[in-house]
Structure formats: C-alpha cells, structure tokens
C-alpha cells in the first residue's frame, strides 16, 4: 500500500533547522508562518526539489543527458514522496489575454485535447456534426429507392455576387458538359455563352454525373463522388427525382466537419479552432478578449 504520509527528517535546507515533519498525502495542506520562517524552503527547495531529483534519476541515461543536474537538498531522508509539480505565486502585469488556463500552462494541452476528441456542433441548429468518408456517402446514395434518378453536383459558387465567367470557362475546359446555375441545368456547349447578372447572387454547381440507382453502379458512383468532392471543396449535392413528379429533392454531404444542410463547415479540426489568439477560434465580437467596449448611453 502507498504511504499515507510524507515523512521528512533532518531538513536543513536554507533556514530550516533540522526539521522533522509528517505531511498527509492526498490532502490539501497549507504551510503557513511568518516571513522568513522557511515555508518556501520546505515546499519548493526541499519537497519539490527532491521529488524532481528522484524523477529525473528514474529516467534513462540517454534522457538525463538533456536535463540539468538537480542537487540533492540538505535533508537526511524523505519517505512517501511522489513526482512533484510546483506552481509559484508570481506578480505579473495585467494582460487581457491571460486566463487561468494560460497561467497554469494547461491551455495548449486543452486545445489539443478538444481538437482530437471533441464533438463539434452546429452553432445554429445545435446538432452534432460529423465527418463522412466518400465510402459512407456512396453507401447512403445506394440506399435510395431502386430506380431512383439522381444527379451528382459539385458546388462551385454558393450564393455570391458576380458574373463568374472564369468559373464557367474553367469547368468547360476541364470537360464538364453541364452546370446548374441558380437551380437550372444549362449546357456549357450552347452557342450563346452563359451570362450572369454581375450584381445578382448566384449559385453554380458542376454536373458530374447522372445515374439511376440500381445494382452494378457502385464503381462508377464512387468515382463520380470522388470527382464531385474534389471540385466541390469536400462537398457534394445529390439531386434525387421525386417519384411521379418532375421535381428534384437535394441532399448535401461533406467530408469535412460541417452541416451540409445549413452550409456550416469547420474544415479539419485543429488546436487553432480553440485559440482566442487565432481568427479561427476568436469570438468575432470581442476578438478573443472576453470583453466588448460599448458606448455608455448616459454619456451620449
């Protein structure tokens, strides 16, 4: 069984006078006394120093060569001591970006932890969002009702203003035959080039493939999904014809963390998303400071 106390015998570090004391383990212990009575000498220069020295000695000779040598404190013996961590009290200037996490140096570890195992949610709907692999997207499409007619689209422009001649010319050069512009499928090879109103908002999607859901299309569908994801920035739109009608129902998929239905996307989660010093993680209102200056109505 582990020791219940830390036994210190003959502590003479700095101004300690051959001190003998037992400190209970796994308890909150306060060392108090007058200035110069030896509180820091006991806590930092004896207990912490010996704990660190023993920990370093337990490492391999290869690892120890990169660490500074720690001298043994002036004490006869200490029993029941575990590897120690010391946080000193220091006076520091006011910094609006200092928090408990940054001061205790756990901030970077928390950012890595949340980016690795955290569960992101859509800030609008509150729903948990997940990444999907291309294979999962293919499986979901193949789960549609047999003989369903589908069109695979690669999103290129999402509700933006402009003429986008360069976008249309590029997809035409790359071999695409059709595009869907503001909900209407148009031929790129038509005699008159597609002209869009410069001041209007437009949505443009490249038509990657048109299929009927049935056995034997998995390979072709997988290739088309990969192409749509590549051109659509990890996003894909699948139009499915509603049986018995001329209407098409859209379904959106993404291989990024995001909600394709609300068009919210996080991209690849990383520690920068949890940093208030980065524009990826900082609040857009307070810019990561936690406070926002507003005019005083009484002074206006």
Cβ count near 120 (within 10 Å): 18
Can you say whether the dihedral through the CA atoms of 132, 112, 270, 258 is positive or negative? positive
Report the SS3 class of residue 267.
strand
pLDDT at 154: 94
Q: Write the pLDDT tens digit of every residue in 236-279.
A: 999 999 888 888 999 888 888 877 677 777 777 889 988 988 88
* CA 56 – CA 72 distance, rounded (Å): 12
Q: Where are the domains of the chain?
A: 5-79, 134-261
Q: Write the pLDDT tens digit of every residue in 186-238.
A: 888 887 888 888 889 999 999 999 999 999 999 999 999 999 999 998 889 99
Confidence of residue 1 (pLDDT cuts 50, 70, 90): low
Average pLDDT, the chain: 88
| pLDDT higher than 90, residue 137 | yes
- Contact (Cβ atoms closer than 8 angstroms) between residue 81 and residue 47: yes
Helix axis angle, 218-231 relative to 134-142, nearest 10°?
130
Report the SS3 class of residue 240.
strand
CATH superfamily ID and name for 134-261: Ribosomal protein L1/L10, rRNA-binding domain (3.30.190.20)
Q: What is the mean pLDDT of residues 130-134?
A: 87
* CA 12 – CA 260 distance, rounded (Å): 67
* CA 174 – CA 269 distance, rounded (Å): 31
pLDDT at 45: 92
77-79: strand order across its sheet: 19-24, 5-11, 77-79
Q: Write the pLDDT tens digit of every residue in 19-68.
A: 999 999 999 999 999 988 999 999 999 999 999 899 888 888 888 888 88
- Contact (Cβ atoms closer than 8 angstroms) between residue 89 and residue 18: no
pTM value is: 0.55
Q: Which residues contact 240 (CB under 8 A, 6 or more apart)?
A: 144, 148, 149, 150, 248, 249, 250, 251
Dihedral class, residue 299 (left if φ above 0, else alpha if ψ from -120 to 50, else beta): alpha
| pLDDT higher than 70, residue 91 | no
More reliable by pLDDT, 1 or 234 = 234
CA dist list (Å): 123 to 112, 129, 263, 291: 21, 10, 12, 21
């Amino acid at each position: 069984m582990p020791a219940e106390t830390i036994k210190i015998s003959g502590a003479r570090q700095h101004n300690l006078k051959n001190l003998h004391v037992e400190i209970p383990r796994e308890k909150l212990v306060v060392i108090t006394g007058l200035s110069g009575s030896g509180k820091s000498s006991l806590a930092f220069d004896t207990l912490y120093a010996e704990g660190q020295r023993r920990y370093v000695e337990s490492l391999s000779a290869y690892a120890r060569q990169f660490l500074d040598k720690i001298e043994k404190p002036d004490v006869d013996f200490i029993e029941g001591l575990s590897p120690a961590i010391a946080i000193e009290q220091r006076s520091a200037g006011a910094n609006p970006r200092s928090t408990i996490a940054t001061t205790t140096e756990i901030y970077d570890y928390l950012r890595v932890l949340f980016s690795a195992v955290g569960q992101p949610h859509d800030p609008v709907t509150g729903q948990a969002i997940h990444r999907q692999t291309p294979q999962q997207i293919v499986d979901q499409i193949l789960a549609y009702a047999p003989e369903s007619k589908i069109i695979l689209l690669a999103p290129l422009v999402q509700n933006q203003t402009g003429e986008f001649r360069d976008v249309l010319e590029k997809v035409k050069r790359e071999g695409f035959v059709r595009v869907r512009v503001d909900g209407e499928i148009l031929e790129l090879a038509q005699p008159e080039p597609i002209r869009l109103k410069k001041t209007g908002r437009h949505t443009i999607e490249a038509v990657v493939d048109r299929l009927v859901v049935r056995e034997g299309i998995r390979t072709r569908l997988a290739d088309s999904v990969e192409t749509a994801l590549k051109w659509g920035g990890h996003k894909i739109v699948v139009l499915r014809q509603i049986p018995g009608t001329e209407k098409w129902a859209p379904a959106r998929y993404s291989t990024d963390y995001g909600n394709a239905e609300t068009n919210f996307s996080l991209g690849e989660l990383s520690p920068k998303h949890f940093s208030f010093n980065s524009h990826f993680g900082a609040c857009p209102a307070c810019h990561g400071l936690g406070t926002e200056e507003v005019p005083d109505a009484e002074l206006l």
